Structure 1
Amino acid sequence: MTVLARAIEATRRYGDVLALDRVSLDIRAGELVGLLGPNGAGKSTLINLLVGLRRPTSGTVELFGGSPSDPAVRRGIGVTPQESGLPESLRVGEIVDFVSAHFPERYGAAELLARFGLADLVRRQVGGLSGGQRRRLAVALAFAGRPRLVFLDEPTTGLDVEARRTLWEGIRSFHADGGTVVLTSHYLEEIEALAQRVVVIGRGRVLADDTVRAVRDVVGVRRVSFAAPVVPELPGILRSSVEAGRVHLLTADSDRLVTELVRAGTAFADLEVRPTSLEEAFITITSKEETRV
């Protein structure tokens, strides 16, 4: 598939702080890529390099085969940063028209706002919008110029569940029409719901890059759950928790753990063994990196 954006051994320093450490990554046409990582991992820095807001200290970054610093090249992208400000005196429809006018191809205000559940706000002044409505508008504006590639940095921060799912549908619709999306999120269920490919970043490095299922499986961990009053002391438990009377254990060898559970004579019921969630895989991957460094 065509590579739309690329980082090759990209490193970025801010003084003595190493934000990205020789990151290599391709974003291909038609992908929906989720970037995961804790605060300070380098996710936003990577996006800033790819969209031309920052330049790498060393290495190479390309956008549509050219330089991200070229305004003509950047016309093919849409971006929603973590924080955005909009003129409070303008109406929602006016802002959409103003932003769209910068692009040779564009969505009409009505079509764009309907896609993101904002159709009834077209005549509302931005100053009268709630924080969640402003965030949805900021995300919608990233799609105003019919971009080939959209970067969304924490797009659903501050949204309630219903607004978040409306936004998901807008993103899915764009992707279904052939668009390419790169998004970061602290909501791991959001990445599971949207992304086809997951890139885990920690300490400025790529720790994993694969499908959601493969990222869960790469750590070789399974979740063993059962109803029991206490957490049993058994070998091979990587992490444990108790919620609502159920014990949850993470292990690299679920067969052995269940065998040891029976041998120990532990009273339990309703046994369940399943692959890890993306959240559990993410914690395990980043914990391994913290231990290794």
Structure 2
Amino acid sequence: MDQNQGILAVDAAGLRKSFGAVRAVEGVDLRVRPGEIVAFLGPNGAGKTTTIDMLLGLSDPDEGAVRIFGESPRAAIAHGLVSAVLQTGGLLKDLTVRETLALTASLFADTRPLDEVLQRAGIAEIANRRVGLCSGGQQQRLRFAMALLSDPGLLILDEPTTGMDVEGRRAFWSAIRADAARGRTVLFATHYLDEADEYADRIVLMTRGGIVADGTTSEIKNLVSGRIVRATLPQADPAALAALPAVDDVEFAGDRVTIHTKDSDAVVRHLLTSTPAHDVEVTAQNLESVFLALTSEGASA
């Protein structure tokens, strides 16, 4: 990985991609420095997977250019500079975990030792298990081990923990974070916002084919002002709450009300003095509320 220091891990400029009349990606610029852990977020149809396909050379942009460590995506892959962990595919159910890695290693001129990548992916204890008998989480960690074989400078993960249970997700990210601590660059797309919040140095948010936000988790959260007030309020009056000054949105779930506001003091004062509300909580904006605000139909791209 050290041979790539000083060169951008990802340098994508002006990417555009259409499928017939559908414009999947419109003018995406993305630059990732070596050693960064970047979360790639966006709702379904935002253009994340199409962008990742172009970064991996699986699809050519209609306009724009991609360089991975200064090389074209296909050249970077051929030289072992980039690997990917995708959601599905790439596994033969009748082979063992070790046999799968050995077969993958035979495709490269030089790879890391099998025992090393088994250990780093957290699957050394199931090396002799047939892939078809592995859980979904174990199969994803096997894909991670396969990606580590060439010792890539850039690791791209596309929804890597889809279908995993909580324990499987935690174990997978523990392995990823330990490996990233060695200086590897990681770019991952996920629909689990808690993963982005906990593991990313930087968040890139896409919607409708373009990037609408790019920064650290705290910077992204600061893009949406205000606080969230939650309270238990039986028989609440939706119109009265929505009419309060600086209230942006009111949501109901049974007797529980959630109010997004730029003046939490005024809202809390009203709830406690003019209504029978109790169990009142005030919190800062979280990544989910920012995500919804920036990707809603009314948000400007």
TM-score (norm 2): 0.88
Report the Cα distance in structure 1 between the residues aligned to 2:11 and 2:156, rounded to whole angstroms. Answer: 13
Report the Cα distance in structure 1 between the residues aligned to 2:249 and 2:8, rounded to whole angstroms. Answer: 39
Report the Cα distance in structure 2 between the residues aligned to 1:161 and 1:72, rounded to whole angstroms. Answer: 32
Q: Offset of 1:72 from its aligned partner? A: 6.0
Select 2:216's aligned residue among 211, 214, 218: 211
Report the Cα distance in structure 2 between the residues aligned to 1:206 and 1:75, rounded to whole angstroms. Answer: 28
Report the Cα distance in structure 1 between the residues aligned to 2:234 and 2:117, rounded to whole angstroms. Answer: 52
Query: Are the aligned partners of 1:6 and 1:50 in contact in 2 as well (CA < 8 Å)?
Result: no
Q: Offset of 1:172 from its aligned partner? A: 0.4
Select 1:257's aligned residue among 264, 267, 276: 267
Q: Offset of 1:231 from its aligned partner? A: 4.1
Select 1:29's aligned residue among 31, 34, 39: 34
Q: Offset of 1:290 from its aligned partner? A: 4.0
Q: Offset of 1:259 from its aligned partner? A: 4.2
Query: Are the aligned partners of 1:3 and 1:29 in contact in 2 as well (CA < 8 Å)?
Result: yes
Report the Cα distance in structure 2 between the residues aligned to 1:153 and 1:191, rounded to whole angstroms. Answer: 13
| Aligned-partner residue type, residue 240 of structure 1 | V
Q: How big is each residue's C-alpha offset from its partner over 1:222-255, in whole Å with a ceiling of 9 and x where there is no partner?
A: 2112333244532243333345854322123323
1:165: which partner in 2? 170
Report the secondary structure of 1:69's partner residue: helix
Report the secondary structure of 2:218's partner residue: helix
| Aligned-partner residue type, residue 241 of structure 1 | E
Q: Offset of 1:16 from its aligned partner? A: 1.4
| Aligned-partner residue type, residue 217 of structure 2 | V
Query: Are the aligned partners of 1:198 and 1:210 in contact in 2 as well (CA < 8 Å)?
Result: yes
Q: How big is each residue's C-alpha offset from its partner over 1:143-196, in whole Å with a ceiling of 9 and x where there is no partner?
A: 222111100000001111111100010110111111110001111111111111
Q: Offset of 1:128 from its aligned partner? A: 2.4
Query: Are the aligned partners of 1:66 and 1:73 in contact in 2 as well (CA < 8 Å)?
Result: no
Q: Offset of 1:271 from its aligned partner? A: 3.1
Count of residue correspondences: 291
Give the 5 Å matches for 1:1-293.
2-70=7-75, 75-103=80-108, 105-232=110-237, 233-234=240-241, 235=244, 236-242=246-252, 246-262=256-272, 265-287=274-296, 289-290=297-298, 292=300
Pick closer, same or farther for the CA change 1:197–1:231 going to 2, 3 Å.
farther
Report the Cα distance in structure 1 between the residues aligned to 2:215 and 2:235, rounded to whole angstroms. Answer: 36
Query: Are the aligned partners of 1:19 and 1:203 in contact in 2 as well (CA < 8 Å)?
Result: yes
Report the Cα distance in structure 2 between the residues aligned to 1:73 and 1:29, rounded to whole angstroms. Answer: 19
| Aligned-partner residue type, residue 132 of structure 2 | G
Q: Offset of 1:282 from its aligned partner? A: 0.3
Q: Offset of 1:71 from its aligned partner? A: 5.4
Report the secondary structure of 1:218's partner residue: coil
Pick closer, same or farther for the CA change 1:290–1:99 going to 2, 3 Å.
farther
Q: Offset of 1:260 from its aligned partner? A: 4.2
| Aligned-partner residue type, residue 99 of structure 1 | T
Q: How big is each residue's C-alpha offset from its partner over 1:114-158, in whole Å with a ceiling of 9 and x where there is no partner?
A: 333322211112222233322232233222221111000000011
**TM-align CA RMSD:** 2.2
Q: Which moved more, 1:99-108 or 1:140-149?
A: 99-108
Report the Cα distance in structure 1 between the residues aligned to 2:148 and 2:92, rounded to whole angstroms. Answer: 19
Report the Cα distance in structure 2 between the residues aligned to 1:67 and 1:221, rounded to whole angstroms. Answer: 43
> Please, which runs of 5 or more residues in structure 2 have no aligned partner?
1-5
Report the Cα distance in structure 2 between the residues aligned to 1:46 and 1:76, rounded to whole angstroms. Answer: 18
Report the Cα distance in structure 1 between the residues aligned to 2:19 and 2:258, rounded to whole angstroms. Answer: 41
Identity across the alignment (%): 37
Report the secondary structure of 2:30's partner residue: strand
Query: Are the aligned partners of 1:219 and 1:281 in contact in 2 as well (CA < 8 Å)?
Result: yes
| Aligned-partner residue type, residue 162 of structure 1 | E
Report the Cα distance in structure 1 between the residues aligned to 2:231 and 2:164, rounded to whole angstroms. Answer: 34
Report the secondary structure of 2:290's partner residue: helix
Query: Are the aligned partners of 2:111 and 2:149 in contact in 1 as well (CA < 8 Å)?
Result: yes
> Please, which runs of 5 or more residues in structure 1 have no aligned partner?
none
